[in-house]
Structures are given as structure tokens and as C-alpha cells.
Structure 1
Amino acid sequence: MTDDANPSFRQTDMLDPARAQAMQATLGYMPSLVAGNPLPPFFHQLYFWTPLPPQMLGRDGHPARGQGVIPDMGLPRRMWAGGRLSFYEPLRLGQNADCTTRLVSATRKEGKTGPLGIVGIRLDYQQKGKLCLTEERDLIYRNDPSPDAPTHVPPKAPVDAEEEVPLRFDSTLLFRYSALTFNGHRIHYDLDYAKGVEGYDGLVVHGPLLAQHLMLLATAEFGRLKSFQFRATAPLMHFEEATACRAGSKLWVRGPDGRLCMEAEAAA
């Protein structure tokens, strides 16, 4: 750990090819990755877990508020709002890698639907002494839903896509992704909790899972990426069909009603 203002911690993990193969299968691909292969973009989410016993978890299945580098914002609902990634060198499967996680910022402000806690963290990934990847994550904490709160109206997705790929999700896929990323957030697998406590219409598709699909779409078009940034704009439910879209370097996820669920931009 460093000073209290900007706490950090460092982890070492072996990038097990079996876990990457399981992610390929979860995403609908035949497993093919082996030791020595470069790790596909965003597959580092499979590693560097921080396992905690049940008594150290919050009601939502995440580590209890105030654990690790993230301070207790006094707000119960956690959301991954977006992020930015810079790719320098490929991470290689079958080798050890290091990750340093650091708190960058933590602020509270008043939003249209109530108080918000806005947290920024930075993760630096190294292998064999070289910086391979830097990731910045934007997290938002909110109060429980209130019937008196203003209704959020999501923006409409662009209609000028050059390429479209259908996306389908179900509870099995969300469970497998949660397991592979060691994400205990109950909104992704506990329907009663997602609807009764957090006020969603169904299980919530992971924001990083949507970003993963957009990154793979960008990689298929441009090859190795230099950077990628994304921002979640509306939740997508597990029973909804969506579409991954691309127009040049701009990418987005369109919901079945035309709403914009995520927007992103890639650079190669």
C-alpha cells in the first residue's frame, strides 16, 4: 500500500491458457488459445482476482464498501460506468504478470436522480518488467431506486452503422462470465435481487461484457489496438437482443428499442 490519499496494491498472477479458452467458449468461439499466444484485448479481466470470504462481502456480492483501494462512498449501488485502455505490449499466456491497482479519485456530487459517488481507479499491467497495458475504470455509486426519482431517458443509438453484429444473452452466459471474472455482483445472476432490490427489469448484462464484444469487433477490423475507450449509457437486460455496431473507429451497442446502451472508440 502507499499513502492513504492514493492507496494501491500489487498482485501477481499466471495467465492460465485454460481460463482464456473458457472465455473464448463463453463468447461463442471454439477454444484455441495456448501458452505463448498474446492475450486478446480485455481478457485480462479473467485474472488478478481478489477473493474474500463471505463475511467480507456486501449485500450485492461485491467486497463490502471500504475494502481495497475504493473508499466507502456511503451509497449502496455500484455500476461500472466506463473506462479507457492503452495497449503497449501484448500480454502473453502461460507467463506471470503483475498488476498494480491505484485509486485515482473519489468524489461525491448531486446528480439528476440523487447523490452520486464517482470513483476512478487505474490498473497497470506488466510482464517481464515491461508495461503492457494501462486501464482506467470509472465506477459510480448510487442510492437505491426511489419511485419519486426522475425517469432516466437513455439516448438513441446512431443509425449509420457500417457493420452490425447481433448479440444475444441469457442467464447461463451471464453466470459463466461472472464466474470467469470472479464478479459476485448479484444483479448479473440473482433475478430476485436485481428486480426487487436494485429495481431492474431483469438480470443486467455486464458492462465489461458489452465492451468485450465491441473490442473484439474493433480488433477484427483494425488488428492490434493501441487504445480503446467506452462509456455505458443504459443497462441491457439478459432477455433483450442487442446489436454491436461499428462506423469507422466509432462503436456502440444498440438495444432492441433503438436505445444506446454503450458507446466506444478504438484506435489502432
Structure 2
Amino acid sequence: MTELAQEISDVMDPARARALQVTLGKDPTIEAGDPLPPFYHQIYFWDPHLPQDLGRDGHPKVGGVIPDMGLPRRMWAGGRMEFHAALHAGNPSKRLTYIEKSERKTGRTGPLGFVTLRHEVWQGETLCLTDWQDLVYREDPAPDAPKPTPPEAATDEAVCERVGFDSTVLFRYSALTFNGHRIHYDIDYAKEIEGYQGLVVHGPLLAQHMISLADRELGGLKHFAFRATAPLMHFEEAEVCWHPEGRVWVRGPDGRQCLTATAE
């Protein structure tokens, strides 16, 4: 039996859900008692830490819920969700977190740490959502290290929606998720320390657009699994694409695949 690592309670304030709707360019319509759109749980269950308990990247220091594997760079590599029942705004809720995997390996680019968290979101006696989160930790990039070549995105979509991001959108999403990761708002840190070309668009923010599209096309979601394959910068527009087979992906402006997912 996997050991419980953390339990957090929340009332899932509808005002915060409306703020996310606005951040996504939608009218703020959610009221107490309304079912929340899928993946909106991401803006709840904050786990704030004192400044001295944060790492250099703005995330809580490892060694608490996340084990310390001696690797400074954190990335959300992907995840999967099973939707059991609707979550409702304004209802008392709890999130139980379990560590399903924690291991260190050596890859082509050096040592890597892999952590898989399983979150269960409950309202009352009902398990509404199971959410697996895959995290990867790695070393800082060498200044002369070649950039990995991202995969090419598919072009056989039936639906394509253009989305754009700027620093204000990234700030708002960071605030709504209480995500202090500096790659999303500190451009000097993102460029000079982590080697990006600009501010990095949150993987979960891109996933939210994918999930919203899949939910609309399918008329509801039971399962969703996504994987990040290349970062998207704040100055780039992207295309969120859907294929009726249940495939969803994010295509960057140069045709690269940023995220890929399956939905049903």
C-alpha cells in the first residue's frame, strides 16, 4: 500500500474558478454549486511555504513531499487523470497525495530523477478525481550543450484553435495555482540559469486548453493523459489540435510538438 504523503483541504472557492475562466479568455460564469470544468482542480489545494523553505527556482525545497535527489531543475513531464464524478464549486473538498515512484537514473543528458505523485480529490465520501503527476529533475544545462531536437507535430487535425500567451497570462496562472516557479515570470532566471529563450508557458496551462477542447468535442471526459515534449515560450503562438480518434496536441509556430495527449 502506497503511503499517504500529504492531505490538504479546500472549499474550491467559485471566485477563483471565475478568475481562471477570465485568464483563459472566457466569461466568468461559475457560481457556488456549479460543476467545475475538468482540470480546474489544479488551481486549488495550495501548499504555501515560508520564503526560507523555497528553493532557488521558487518551488518548495525538495526533501518534504518530494524526495531530494540532488538535482536542481524541475519539470512537469506529464500526467494522466481519471474523472469519476463532477467536482462542485464551493463544496468542502480534500486532496490526498501519495508518492507512487521515486527513482534516479542516468540518461543521454546525464542524471535524471523521476517522481510520480498520485492525487485523489474527494468531496464528502465521493472520490471525484484521480490525478497522476509525473515530475522530472535534472542538472543545469552546460552553456555549450546542444538543444534537443523536439518531435514534429501531427498535421491531420479536424479542429485547430490558435492560442497566445504573454507575461500577464503567465503571471495570472502562476498566481491562481500558487506556482512560484521562476521560469514563468523571471525572464533573467529563465534565460541565464535554466537556458530557455524566454518565459516558459506552464505545461498545465497548455494542458488546460487541450482538456477544454477534448471535453467540448467528446461531450465529457473519463480519461485524459498528456506528455510534454518541448517547451513553448511566452512570445510564441501555438495551435491546440484535435483528432476524432481522441488525440490532442499542441503545435508550436515552427511545427514542433509541445504536448501530446489522448482523451476519452
Q: Distance in 1 between matches of 2:212 and 2:206?
A: 10
Question: What stretches of structure 1 of length at least 5 have no aligned partner?
Answer: none
Q: Which residue of 2 aligns with 1:159?
A: 155
SS in 1 for 2:217: helix
Q: Which residue of 1 aligns with 2:102?
A: 106
Q: Which residue of 2 aligns with 1:13?
A: 10
Deviation of the 1:150 alpha carbon: 4.2
Task: Report how many residues are paired.
Answer: 263
Counterpart code for 2:178: F
Q: Report Cα offsets for 1:219-255 as digits up to 9, x if no partner.
A: 1111220010000000000000100001111000000
Q: Which residue of 2 aligns with 1:232?
A: 228
The answer (yes or no) to whether the contact 2:227–2:260 under 8 Å persists in 1 is: yes
Q: Which residue of 1 aligns with 2:207?
A: 211
Question: What stretches of structure 2 of length at least 5 have no aligned partner?
Answer: none
Q: Which residue of 2 aligns with 1:79?
A: 75
Q: Distance in 2 between matches of 1:131 and 1:193?
A: 39
Which one of the candidate residues 118, 121, 131 is aligned to 1:122? 118
Q: Distance in 2 between matches of 1:29 and 1:150?
A: 39
Q: Which residue of 2 aligns with 1:181?
A: 177
Matched, 1:26 2:11: no
The answer (yes or no) to whether the contact 1:113–1:150 under 8 Å persists in 2 is: no
Moved over 6 A (4+): none
Which one of the candidate residues 46, 49, 59 is aligned to 2:46? 49
Counterpart code for 1:97: S
Q: Distance in 2 between matches of 1:89 and 1:203?
A: 35
Which one of the candidate residues 180, 201, 222 is aligned to 2:218? 222
Q: Distance in 2 between matches of 1:199 and 1:6?
A: 36
Deviation of the 1:7 alpha carbon: 4.8
Counterpart code for 1:13: D
Deviation of the 1:151 alpha carbon: 2.8
141-150 vs 11-20, which deviates more? 141-150
The answer (yes or no) to whether the contact 2:111–2:139 under 8 Å persists in 1 is: yes
The answer (yes or no) to whether the contact 2:4–2:96 under 8 Å persists in 1 is: no
Quote the sequence identity (%): 59
Q: What TM-score do you get using the length of structure 1 for normalisation?
A: 0.96
Counterpart code for 1:30: D
Which one of the candidate residues 176, 185, 190 is aligned to 2:186? 190
Counterpart code for 2:48: P
Q: Distance in 2 between matches of 1:115 and 1:8?
A: 25
Deviation of the 1:186 alpha carbon: 0.2
54-63 vs 5-14, which deviates more? 5-14
RMSD, matched Cα: 1.1
Which one of the candidate residues 123, 141, 151 is aligned to 1:145? 141
Q: What TM-score do you get using the length of structure 2 for normalisation?
A: 0.97
Deviation of the 1:110 alpha carbon: 1.0
Q: Distance in 2 between matches of 1:151 and 1:56?
A: 32
Q: Distance in 2 between matches of 1:252 and 1:111?
A: 25
238-247 vs 149-158, which deviates more? 149-158
The answer (yes or no) to whether the contact 1:112–1:150 under 8 Å persists in 2 is: no
Deviation of the 1:184 alpha carbon: 0.3
Q: Distance in 2 between matches of 1:147 and 1:15?
A: 43
Q: Distance in 1 between matches of 2:226 and 2:255?
A: 18
The answer (yes or no) to whether the contact 1:233–1:262 under 8 Å persists in 2 is: yes
SS in 1 for 2:94: strand
